[in-house]
Structure 1
Amino acid sequence: MGIVWLPVLAFFVLLAYGLAVDLSLTLLTDAPDKGAVCLDGSPPGYYHRKGSTQPNKWIIYMKGGGYCADEMECVKRSFTDLGSSKKWPSTLSVSGFLSDDCTENPHFCGWSLAWIPYCDGGIYSGNVLHPVKVGTDTIYFRGIRVLDTVVGTLLTAGVSNAEHVVLTGSSAGGLSTYLHADRVRKMIPSNIPMHSLADAGYFIDAPNVNGEYVIQEHAKYAFNMQNSTGGMNQDCVAAYTKMNETWKCGLADYSYQYIKSPMFTLNSAYDTWQLHNTLQLGCLPPQCSAEQMKQFENYGKEFMAAVRPAIQSATNGVFIDSCVVHTQSTSSNSWKQFKVDNQTIEDTFYAWMTGNTAVYKSKVVDCAYPCNPTCSKPAISPDEVV
């Protein structure tokens, strides 16, 4: 009998520890009744995978994908998966921190996962009451309603009885993690521990190579276009209202100091998206001139100065590396292999989240580029939307 059952036993071991289980899509078809819609008016939704061994522990992940800086960009986006749910696939595969492979992701592989697609173009923050006409097209700015509706649905789906919740996101989803952590914390019952991991979301207000503050101008316009004031951290809004600069609450380097809930910052000091879009460097090492390398190095110093509040926080966690990458948590390569002070992102985040820092520190900061031998070559093109 033992010999007969060995293949069956082996199958279930592989199921638990080796074979990835796809996430399944749930569209919230009644969300439009609450005004919660994507850019094109289609319903939002989420992907879900029930945890194999710890189903009452939840990761809530917010997808990234940049933002649209004006109405015409938003119209174009409304015909893509970043602005419409009409062509979202029924299933989804993930990796890194979100993986259910316990070899790849031993601490979190058994957790339940809710993966929220990004379809509002405004960092889940906009709230314009009426549809917006752009030529012959109609778009909607309802990001904060989308977030509230999806999280509210997740509460009824099991999060309200969770043992632990991690809120996370990458790129624009990482920025959204900073901006909305306190809001989500208030929605989740106070007896449930919640920690946040913001991946590649620490976008800073810095000039480009010509001294122009391009990102600042884009951020201002998008903030006002989407009527994002009510969708931001309200402590931040209150502080900057006095200076008529509430748009600053849409950038991490201004809003970070107002976050009350526990936050872990994961970022490269040489983030490829920021190098391309904020600095507008026009290259990535080693294909840079001597002058471009000086600008590259200076930007790294600017970033480190801007992220100092996170580094100096007495309670929050940090993993800042010098790898020339954008997002890192959702790639098994960077999640498991990139190291600072001989510890991985996974080691550092888990030590911080659990408070168990006897072996691994909860805060590590890398030396300047190109000192880190664990970094791979740039993982994406600098202008790729993630």
Structure 2
Amino acid sequence: MVNILDGVKVVELASWTFVPSAGVALSDWGADVVKVEDTRGGDPGRSLVVGGLVKENSRTGQDFMLELGNRGKRSIGLNLKSEQGLEIFKKLVSEADVFLTNWLPAALERLKIDLDELRAANPKLIVAQGTGQGTEGPDASAAGYDSTSYFARSGYSYSLSAPDSIVPFRQTPALGDLPAGLTLAGGVLGALYHRERTGEALPVEVSLLAQALWTIAPDVTAADFFDVEVVPKPELGASFNALVNPYKTSDGRWIQLTFLQPDKNWAAFARRVGLPELAEDERFTPAQNLFKNNAELTEILSSHFASQPYAHWVEVLKDETGAWSPIKSPKEALDDPQTDANGYFIRNKAENGVEYRQVAPPIRFNKETPAPSSAPEYAEHTEQVLLELGYEWPQIIEAKDGGIVS
């Protein structure tokens, strides 16, 4: 693969998934990413259990969330609360191009890590920060995860929740972390380009709140333009456009239609799905009539799709030129021929010999998929990194014995 970031050194002081996922993307694009972890076990994400899915029960014997946020990196264990550990850290950063962190200002201050001081010591250093709510304002130092800063605070959860829902809509794991991480990685690319052209190393920041506001910008903008809470949605089971609607099949699966130009799609679609008598029906053509009689058409299509199983409709619609899709499970998406043809998965093999797939960053260069990689073991590369920094073996052994490094 063409490693566009070959020669770029990244130091990551970050935990969980948001900012570490930015490190994964940079690593996939060729950067050398060194993950700094503490000497008490490292990134708390190493102990995270999602949905009761523990690595001991995995086909590969690996922690799937850890792999998602940390593959392709090197890990060093450092006691940043010690003077010598902080000295090693600053030396590591002094030779880096990028410093990635999601640590809050108070935590950095306690460890005597001053970002301005780091930049002064290394003028070429690009500091990339991922935060919950941004670096300014009353909640700049408040904790934030994607379930709070991204999903709850932004209005995202509200916008997806049905008005009569018993509980708010619940997100899937890392729903905000991964897109925000990729945005941060993209910001780093921009900063590297700017530095290449001007010599100036600009700081980069992305917050989960900002990422979510960008994601649901239509709802947020409509709220300002029209003084509404969200873009209006039809009642459950209804639609504003019968041809932009999901339909349930006889075996409980769903087919999503999105025909934004009914006049263009309706007649051929009606014949294709076995409703030729409706192709020229004046109730549904032209589009103005379709919208006028939308509830009636929604009911007809609901009944019609419910008469046949999912596989039948997938076969019937396979050559449909209008936009449509079966609503698939994530497991089914693994074997979608489009994902394989476009290299959306990185194929890898675990230590136990089991082959598995990792999701590649959605930005591709030269139509190539990143090389396989795995997450490092905790402090797996401590000695290697210290040797590269110029430390001798006696110094490394002394630092290990003194609890400075792991």
Greater relative contact order (Cα < 8 A, sep 6+): 2
TM-score, normalised to structure 2's length?
A: 0.22
Between structure 1 and structure 2, the one with the greater Rg is: 2
TM-score, normalised to structure 1's length?
A: 0.23
